[in-house]
Amino acid sequence: MNPTDLAFSSALDQAALIRSGEISPLELTQVYLDRIARHNDRLGAYITVAEERAIKTAKQQNEQWSQGDRAALPPFFGVPMPIKDLAPVAGLPCMRGLAALRDRIAEYTPAHVQAIEAAGFNLLGKTSTSELGSMPFTEPMGLPSARNPWHLDYTPGGSSGGAAAAVAAGLAPLAHGSDGGGSVRGPAGCCGLVGFKPSRGRISQAPEGEHLMGLATPGPLTRTVRDAAALLDVMAGYVLGDPYWLPNPETSFLEQTQQAPPHLKIAVASEIPHWPIHRDCQAAVERTAEQLGQLGHELGVGCPDFSDLAAPFQQIFASAIAATGVPPEALSPINRWLMEQAGTAAELWQSMAQLRFLSRQIVGFFADWDILLLPTYAHPIIKIGEWADRSPEETFEAVSRWVMPCPPFNATGQPAISLPAGFDERGLPMSVQLVGKPGADAQVLQLAAQLEGLEGWTQHRPPETVS
């Protein structure tokens, strides 16, 4: 296998190649470091490349690999991957999209990232994020913008935009992300990838209790559903003291993707009440619905009403930015404006109560349906800087209209996955979203794997970075 084909192969395949002795951890790590050196200046996918650390780890793994029992190695021994720069990794910078924090070195590693390292992954570095993770485009003030490998004039989404750009461009086989309002699913959709937001409580956020009052969760960005399931197996788990938790399944998520899901009742939402959806996004949903019908599932038309969620979501995001303690002068205009919108503690509690009430109504919709199919975003991908000349209020309104199909399921805590769904006339990826009942992560992954078997989207590579 040549280095380019190797770089675009799945993490599971790479782990198997290392275990069989066809490639060493150091050789695989060097493939990605070489590609990062060639492409990252244009893409802005990595904000920190941990080259020395990655080579040191790979050499240690090489020695262990050559001397030990390979069958006893952890599942992803020697496979490289990056961590999104909202999550700290002890000893590496953690800027959170803020140029003012360029020199801040993290002092601890959260439990789910420790689990990633324990599974044998070699950390290549930290991927770019929007400032404080608040925007669906990755253009942090004073830092490089992340760009879409399918067309460098367009955004890879946000806030996990660097992670998505890295995987799509073959600068990593898969990546860690986080999703507080679509920040895994949106970038995956923009870059032709699989992005999975697991159920609330599936992945521990220790030593912190929760992010965004339970709205946010870590999740995988991958090229294949099997890789997403396998990385979920690694990241999932309860840590003593977690405010939310779900038991691990008796059978791994990866194994469950090898089984066809049962006959499912699927609500198709190419239109969403009170929100305009671009015709291209509607067409992507309709094409996917046809495929689901071919697979034998029962289809109907339906969608919950999300229209009342915008106001409480804005209040919670504004309060979260205000709570960071970052000086306003260090923030971009949109985040400075959001900080100013933060209300009193009483107003925050009222917003949380409203969000929980609305969440119950949305979850109630799933009493009659197993899966909801809808667009990932409400219109196709925007250009880098497309909204730069708008006021903060206008920008936030545009952002809310674009990402609207994603935040409802952060509110409810339901599992949701973004999947590739072809390309638009510009050659940019389109995507759709599958949402399952609370806790039904395995069923969502099973259905996604079924669709992947029909589509063959894993064979597509962006033209800018295939060499």
Task: Find out whether 349 and 443 touch, Cβ atoms under 8 Å.
Answer: no
Is residue 107 within 8 Å of residue 90, measured between CB atoms?
yes
Structure tokens at 150: 């399918």
Report the pLDDT value the prediction gives residue 442, as an integer from 0 to 100: 98
3-state helix, strand, coil in the chain (%, to 5): 45, 15, 40
The β-bridge partners of 383 are 154
User: Cα torsion for 248, 250, 252, 253, to the nearest 10°?
Assistant: -70
Whether the Cβ atoms of residue 369 and residue 303 lie closer than 8 Å to each other: no
Q: Is 356 exposed, middle or buried (0-12, 13-18, 19+ CB in 10 A)?
A: middle
Candidates 192, 195, 174, 212; CA nearest to 86 is 212
Contact yes or no for 157/195 (Cβ under 8 A): no
Q: Rounded distance, CA 106 to CA 224, Å?
A: 31
The beta-strand segments (E) located in 13-74 are 46-49
**What b-and-e string marks burial along 425-445, b requiring 16 or more CB atoms within 10 Å of the CB?**
eeebbbbbbbbbbbbbbbbbb
DSSP state of 221: E
Radius of gyration of the chain (CA): 21
pLDDT in tens, the chain (467 residues): 899 999 999 999 999 999 999 999 999 999 999 999 999 999 999 999 999 999 999 999 999 999 878 888 999 999 999 999 999 999 999 999 999 999 999 999 999 999 999 999 999 999 999 999 999 999 999 999 999 999 999 999 999 999 999 999 999 999 999 999 999 999 999 999 999 999 999 999 999 888 888 999 999 999 999 999 999 999 999 999 999 999 989 999 999 999 999 999 999 999 999 999 999 999 999 999 999 999 999 999 999 999 999 999 999 999 999 999 999 999 999 999 999 999 899 999 999 999 999 999 999 999 999 999 999 999 999 999 999 999 999 999 999 999 999 999 999 999 999 999 999 999 999 999 999 999 999 999 999 999 999 877 888 899 866 56
Paired strand residues for 298: 265
* β-sheet with 46-49: strand ranges across: 46-49, 122-127, 80-84
Max Cα separation, the chain? Answer: 62
- The secondary structure of 163-193 as a DSSP string is HHHHHHTTS-SEEEEEESSSTTHHHHHHHT-
Q: What is the pLDDT of residue 261?
A: 96
Distances from the Cα of 367 to the Cα of 44, 266, 292, 304, 359, angstroms: 43, 12, 20, 12, 13
Residues 184, 219: contact at Cβ < 8 Å? yes
Tell me if the pTM is above 0.95: yes
What is the three-class DSSP state of 296?
coil
Residue 93 is given by DSSP the state B
pLDDT at 69: 80
CB 85 within 8 A of CB 95: yes
Q: How far is Cα 180 from Cα 211, in angstroms, rounded to an integer? A: 8
Q: How many CB atoms lie within 10 A of CB 451?
A: 20
Judged by DSSP in three states, 456 sits in coil
Q: Are 75 and 230 in contact (CB under 8 A)?
A: yes
Q: What is the pLDDT of residue 458?
A: 81
Q: How many residues does the chain have?
A: 467
Residue 423: strand pairing partners: 429
Active-site residues, by number, are 84, 159, 183
Residue 324 dihedral angles phi and psi, to the nearest 5°: -70, -25
Cα angle 429-430-434, degrees, rounded to a multiple of 5 = 130
* Tens-digit pLDDT profile for residues 59-91: 999 999 998 788 889 999 999 999 999 999 999
